[in-house]
Amino acid sequence: MIDFDNPKVYPPIPPLNQFVRPARPRVIVIHTTENSETSGMARNVAKWCQLPPNKRGGAVSGSHAYVDSLATIRGAYDNMYTWNSKGANLESLHIEIVGRAAQTLEEWNDAYSFHALDKAAIVAAFWCQKHGIPATHLSPYDGSGTGICGHADVTAGTGQGSHTDPGPNFPWTTFIRRVQELIEPPVQQPEKEDPEMEYWKTETQGTFLVGAGSPIPYTADERVDYDAQRKAVGFAPIRTIKVPDRWVEAAKGK
């Protein structure tokens, strides 16, 4: 399991608006950033939340975690609350997943979302264990109870705000099951082989992860993070092979 509180591994990018929490958190709220699925977007959104409202259209929101296909970014620490779900901020920890509430189920199952959802589940599992939050879908959320919900569940349950993210096609069953597996993994099995996943180290373009759709560029730090997450759930290390640049172009369909 990750240590999301370790600033050396997850250096924080705290939002501008954060306040001391009056009590222990008991709800995890899932959001979508309403951005395109691009590399580095989680960090960009975290930095955007540090700007004053007049430089971001009046927005005052902030979060505790931001994830995309490559990165897990720490925002506010757990002892602070942020403005992100009207009606549930004091008791909530927020995870922003890069993507849009309008995504179809097929789009939630693409390579980018697969990796982003897995990173979000890992953070949620860490918080569930740390704070005693049950890994169950709390829907709707009316201000009572404890568990994991979406911003839409807060809107529906409290009648406050109008947000509908992470959207009607968010894969709740799969996501909650993944969180539960991380908290209580199945009986230990030998390391799983994952031969279709490889790192390709190119001549001039850097390193790419291949095997889950188009090649995804990975920095050295992102590799350490992803490899640690895979090891925590029983996968063998991904092998690295040196390839010519043209392999990546071919894999992208160019």
Q: How confident is the model at residue 151 (pLDDT cuts 50, 70, 90)?
A: very high
Of 136, 157, 183, the residue at which a domain comes to its end is 183
Decide if pLDDT at 15 tops 90: yes
247 shares a domain with 157: no
Determine which helix (DSSP H) or strand (DSSP E) holds 79, and give its type and residue range.
none
Decide if pLDDT at 91 tops 90: yes
Number of domains in the chain: 2
Average pLDDT (57-80) is: 95
Task: Report the distance separating Cα 218 and Cα 126, nearest Å.
Answer: 24
Give the structural domain span for 106.
18-183
Task: Report the distance separating Cα 165 and Cα 171, nearest Å.
Answer: 12
pTM above 0.95, yes or no: no
Task: Report the distance separating Cα 76 and Cα 49, nearest Å.
Answer: 11
Higher pLDDT among residues 130 and 237, named by residue: 130
Decide if pLDDT at 87 tops 60: yes
Q: How confident is the model at residue 179 (pLDDT cuts 50, 70, 90)?
A: very high
pLDDT at 127: 98
Of 132, 153, 183, the residue at which a domain comes to its end is 183
